[in-house]
């Protein structure tokens, strides 16, 4: 009997709640749905506007996310007001909690702050080749907490943003400098060798159009004149291109009958001491 009375009381409370707050609940749900819809539309509008203005994709997505979050936050505030709930106590509680948790999450917060500086400052964008913190690769994504680099081997490198801001950063867009060297005989003409190497490198269409390859005498060894060459190779095919260029240089020098000497040593055998 007592259980039936308890169940009846619970049912009456539920009915009373829906009678008193049904319109508020429906209104809050409508406001939330409308807020999400408007937020998505505004986010899409910001992305298209940024694309029209040719802004960086990372900055475009960041601005679009901020716009969406602001609209949804206003929708939540309006929905809460339908129940007569004020957000002032919540804001105060969140502020106090955030102040107390600041010391516990200094690392993540510093990453977010550094990420905001990277997104707004734009020292690099998605698709650039950067070298930082002892690693290099093509920028695959830029997030508030970290960035990801993709190497030629398909390896994803994740770097916290606080490790980037304030450090020395090398940005070479989509290319990276490649270097090689080869030795030629002292009996060969180094100017002709430089010309042959230049023609071999120029045959690669995938090399960057712009800065020409740098080729010249790098030093004088015991058995050969060292010819150095430098060129801009696409980062996504850096090792592959470097190996292909080295092979092309080797074949071109052989075809031009320019010898690549190997180290030579002259050994003199001393006569054994005479015995008396």
What Cα–Cα distance (Å) separates residue 65 from each residue in 38, 69, 108, 117, 177?
13, 6, 19, 16, 36
Q: Of 111, 145, 171, which residue is a domain's last?
A: 171
Would residue 268 count as lying in a domain?
Answer: no
pLDDT, averaged across the chain: 79
Q: Which residues contact 18 (CB under 8 A, 6 or more apart)?
A: 25
What distances in angstroms separate CA 91 from CA 20, 65, 150, 152, one per listed residue? 27, 22, 41, 48
> Residue 152: which CATH number?
2.30.30.60
Question: Residues 46, 84: one domain?
Answer: yes
Q: Is residue 67 part of a domain?
A: yes
143's tokens:
């997030």
Q: How many domains does the chain have?
A: 3
- Tally Cβ neighbours within 10 Å of residue 256: 17
pTM of the model: 0.56
Let me know if residue 166 belongs to a domain: yes
User: 79 near 32, Cβ under 8 Å?
Assistant: yes
200 occurs within a structural domain: yes
What distance lies between CA 26 and its chain's CA centroid?
45
Distance CA 231, CA 197 (A): 12
Residue 51's alpha-carbon distances to 62, 109, 124, 229, in angstroms, are: 13, 30, 17, 40
What's the confidence (pLDDT) of residue 118? Answer: 82
Tell me the residue range of the domain where 131 lies: 124-171
Contact 82, 26 (CB under 8 A): no
Q: Report the pLDDT value the prediction gives residue 128, as an integer from 0 to 100.
A: 86
Spell out, as residue ranges, where the chain has pLDDT lower than 50.
Answer: 101, 103-105
Tell me the two tokens of residue 195: 């010309």
**Residue 215 and residue 136 share a domain:** no
> What is the pLDDT, as a whole number, of residue 12?
65
On whether both 94 and 160 belong to a single domain, the answer is no
Give domain status of residue 231, yes or no. Answer: yes
Q: Do 157 and 187 share a domain, yes or no?
A: no
User: In this structure, are 75 and 159 located in the same domain?
Assistant: no
């Amino acid at each position: 009997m007592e259980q039936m009375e308890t169940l009846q009381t619970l049912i009456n409370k539920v009915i009373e709640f829906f009678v008193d707050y049904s319109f508020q609940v429906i209104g809050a749900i409508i406001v939330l749905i409308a807020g999400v819809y408007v937020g998505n539309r505004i986010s899409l509008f910001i992305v298209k506007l940024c694309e029209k203005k040719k802004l960086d994709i990372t900055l475009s997505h960041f601005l679009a996310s901020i716009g969406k979050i602001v609209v949804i936050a206003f929708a939540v505030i309006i929905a809460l007001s339908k129940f007569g709930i004020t957000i002032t106590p919540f804001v105060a509680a969140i502020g106090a909690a955030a102040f107390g948790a600041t010391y516990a999450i200094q690392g993540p917060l510093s990453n977010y702050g550094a990420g905001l500086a990277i997104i707004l400052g734009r020292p690099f964008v998605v698709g650039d080749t950067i070298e930082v913190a002892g690693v290099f690769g093509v920028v695959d994504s830029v997030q508030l907490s970290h960035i990801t680099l993709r190497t030629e081997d398909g390896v994803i490198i994740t770097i916290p943003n606080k490790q980037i801001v304030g450090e020395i950063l090398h940005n070479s867009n989509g290319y990276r400098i490649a270097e090689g060297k080869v030795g030629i005989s002292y009996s060969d003409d180094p100017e002709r060798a430089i010309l042959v190497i230049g023609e071999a490198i120029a045959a690669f269409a995938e090399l960057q159009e712009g800065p020409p390859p740098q080729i010249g005498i790098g030093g004088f060894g015991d058995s050969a004149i060292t010819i150095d060459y430098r060129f801009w190779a696409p980062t996504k095919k850096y090792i592959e291109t470097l190996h292909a260029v080295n092979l092309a240089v080797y074949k071109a020098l052989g075809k031009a009958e320019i010898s690549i000497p190997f180290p030579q040593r002259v050994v003199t055998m001393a006569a054994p001491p005479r015995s008396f």
